[in-house]
Chains A and B, each alone.
Chain A
Amino acid sequence: MHKKITLTTVFAVLMALSVSLVSAQDRVQIRWFVGLGAGTDGPIIALEEAFVEDYNNSQDEIELVLEVVDNTQAFDVLNTQIAAGNAPDIVGPMGIRGRASFPGVWLDLDPLIESTGYDLSDFDPELVDFYRVEDEGQLGLPFAVFPYFMLYNEDLFDEADAPYPPQSYGEPYVDWNGEERPWNMETLRDLAMYMTVDANGFDATMDEFNPDDIVQFGYGTGYTDMRGELVLFGAGNFVDDDGNAQIPTVWEEAADWIYAGMWEDYFYPNGIYRTSDILGGDSGNWFDSGNLAMMPNHTWYLGWGTSNLDANGVGWNIAPIPAYEDTITAKLHADTFGIMASTDHPEEAFEVFSYMLDEGALELTQMYGGLPARLSLRDGFFETFEETIGQEDGDINWGVAEEGLSYPDIPNHEEGMPSFLESSDRYAETWDFIVQNPDVDVTAELEELRADLQAIFDSAQ
């Protein structure tokens, strides 16, 4: 009897296993790699898993498999997977930097768009062209754009008795003396100095101010690299139209402004303070610390779990990006998904890709904090987004975010360069030196950077 029961049990287990194996084998497995952009923060991963589960339950042809790799490691991991012939099928969301880091590995979507009759009419045609790369084809389709704006800490402004920054583009700033001033970099500098405070309560405009004991900073551009910090003064790239290395003049001026802000005016966090507890330690989340008055950033900062402003008791709102020499540059992040050219299942990957841009787009853009690239999905986006980030009663000035889309940086600050990763590594080294040292000849450093980039570009040819 015992023997019979055992045999029956073993048989049942084998049957169950074989049924599940057959079921798994019937579906085409599509691997979705997340890590080159948004989507790797803890709270978001659970939402991504739920998205995948919903998708898998919605049909029985494809099994979508999620792979999340921390952003700091994602580039190396993807490289290794590609080299090992184990590349995923879909990668994203990713910005221009993510795409440019892997030249030649993306599938040209044109044949699939044509064969499936994919409707592009709901996208801004210019944004569609944004993903068309010469000699490589249509490497993506618009998924989301992430508007840029100035985040400010209302509590710190209230405490300093300083008026908030302007509430819309074109409005002047009325300062703490009641003086009306244009909302530009000079005004930003003065306001930021006023908002920078040492342990004794002196602000950076005062003679008694002690730069060795700062407890609150006025302004800093966080969560970006050298190009992202410099682009506030105007759009540019380190490579010119002829493929030569260059330092755009506005970027030289921006570097001087930031350097003075760090080491002379002390309103901009320098290397000493950037990873201190005052500004959130190694997290680099300066604004979340509650000790930074103003920081420009994109909607993704609010959307994918990076900020935790409510929990930290930071009262915040958003304002326009200030102008430099009458030109406003609100840098743009535009994300997409890419299908890898090495995929064995391009049709199925495109089906998932289409789902992400169509039925799943609203859920994903809310998750990542991006404004949907589909024009039909934009209405009412910010109302839903407020709910997503728990700001129903926040009275956030979202109009400024949408207005900011009118001032994109062209060329984009993440635009490609020859030997992209090596070039990026080189400029990061220069920026680190400038950020860490109070005795730097910025002009000489930038010239050295230009010469080194030229050498890298030359060797890439």
Chain B
Amino acid sequence: MARNRPLYGWHGLVLAATFWWVLTALPARAQSFGEALIADDSGLGRFPTEAAQQVVSLPDDWSRTRPLQQIPRWYRLHFDVAGLGNKPGLLGLYIERACANVEVQLNGQSLLAVGRMSDPIALDCQRPLLVPLPTALLREGGNAIDLRLAGYSLEQVASRQRAGGLSAPQVGPFESLHARHARADLLAVTLPLAASALLVLTGLSALVMARSRRRDSHLRYFAALAIGWALVTARLWWHELPLPIFDSELLLASLPALVALSAVQFLLHYAGWRSRPIEVALYAQCVLVPTSLLIAGPLRMHMMATSWYGLLVLQVLAAMAFYLWSTRRARRRDFWTMVLLLGVAAAMVILELAAQQRLLPSPWQQLPYILLPLAFVAMGLRLVQQYGRALLSAEDSRLALEARIREASAEMEKNYAQMAELRVEQVTQQERKRIAADLHDDLGAKLLTIVHTSESERISTLAREALEEMRLSVRGLTGKPVMLIDALGDWRAEVVGRLSQTGVEGEWSAPSEELPQTLSARAYVQTTRILREAVNNIIKHSGASRCTIRCLIDSGDFQLAIQDNGKGIPLELDGRLDRGHGMASMKHRAKQLHGQCLVESGPGYGTVIRLTIPLERHTTQS
């Protein structure tokens, strides 16, 4: 916003320069008429020379010189070509203001007659006139220019700009008058027209924006304001309304009430404040204005309209003040831009109001018709900018919302997956328990029966092994990880207990401090069985009198060394160790645990079984 302010500064400079150029009057070598002969129109189509002739000073303001009159008036201007210097070339007559319509004759020859001269008279008050004076019609000595002016009295019209009157005409070289006319025409007609067109466009775009954003009600009122003002100024170039003067003035005087309604509502809504009573009052006012004008009648049109204008301007100024006050409190970022725009608008409105009291010099009178639309257009640009920004932020928030929805649905999917997983886990757990129970009750019972009823020691041993196998499976199904320190306790109790029962001197050494490691159920059971097998061998086959078991944890490995002083394992014929001693199954089990089992044995030297299991692989398995 602050970034934009210098830009407005530039615009201001350019505007100021333009107006400086427009406002500086060109010097013209022309004769200005300070007074004229006048006579009321008598329907002859020429200056009524026979009627009583009076002299009036120019410019002639009908509201002062002939109030409440509306009969067309003739003006006669005398001039001498010789008074304009040598060889003036083509001469022209320049009239800055002739309200409402004028006919021009030179030496009795009609030069200009455009538009209706009776009610409704063509209202051409703004347009400056330039009439070429044909050289052939000019006489040596004296020439007479007759002007027939038709118009309305001030009382009949809602605006002083449309009250009858004639400015001081000028006669001079056509060329120099033409430049002056062109500039005046630009200022009085072309620029206001262009500004109005721009205003309509702005209003329409605001309307389009308002349609797509119903929430932003201020856009709607802005559109009404812009288009309404364009209509008010349309009278500058719309000359011939096919309505009696009273009706057209009534219409025209009622429009400002609508414009005021739009302006006030726009400002209030833009400030984010709505009031139902004010809205109702404003609408009521729109009805009240034409009603009061109607009641007051044609001859009090100007008085009533001017009073209303004053009231309306007060309302709008109050709304502006309210807007600035409330937005200053809310610290809106474009506050100073709005101060500038509203300041220009307020100045122009006051200027226009002043113009109703007293006719101002021409450039000042036109200023509101140019600057006010420009202020509106700037305001419209602001609104478009805000609209675009709102659109962007809406897009942003939509994207953010989409992202949030995506996140939420991803979260939901994740939760759902987790729940499903949990459910599967639960069902699996239940099923495992059921299978474990079945295995124990059925298979276990049968194996047990074989263990204890078989005549053959071999079958009994096999069945016991099968039972252990089954238990391993069950443990694998339901088993939790075992703390290594607990496992060591279990193993020690079993090994030392069995060795002492069989009279073998056992020595057990293991780390006794707190051990954080755990073993998977599988690793625990497999290691238990390797150890059990080894102790079995010692008790049954080795004939050893002494057995040493050492457990230690070394760089993530669990190491177990079982040493006896027995006779060792006899070699088979092929040089390998006796299979009957279960070495193969011990090695196989160690391999399953990604570890290894080494057996060192020699006849007469005893046996050492070294088991190494990597701990980290089994600490997390369950």
* A and B held together in a complex: no
List the interface of chain B (C-beta within 8 A of A). Answer: none
